[in-house]
Structure 1
């Protein structure tokens, strides 16, 4: 029973992290390592700053 509960909580945690974008920086760094091995990844702060600036410049279809 405890194992099932742990797995369920882990799944819910993963879902919310994906929904909120908490894993995006790690995914971006993995992409850089795979496809651009010589490139140094930006700091997490620089990554989010650039991403938010891009979203503000090109809002696209979003609610707010």
Structure 2
């Protein structure tokens, strides 16, 4: 049982790492930041967030290789 628990923790850590590298956790980070700032405006929906993010990347492509 201890081996399975350790393997599960390792896989969970790898999953969190990959989500961070690929940017999949960006919306969760945005929500945490939004709540932390105490902003009175409702946060963007998932769809609005990703549209805004891709629009900003298209306007400022210096952070991408292609």
Q: Do the structures match in fold with TM over 0.5? A: yes
Give unmatched runs, 5+ long, in structure 2.
Answer: none
Q: TM-score, normalised by structure 2?
A: 0.87
CA RMSD of aligned residues (A): 1.1
Give the drift of 1:60: 1.1
Larger helix proportion, structure 1 or 2? Answer: 2
Select 1:17's aligned residue among 19, 37, 41: 19
Partner residue, 1:45? 47
Q: Which runs of 4+ in 1 moved over 4 A?
A: none
Q: TM-score, normalised by structure 1?
A: 0.89
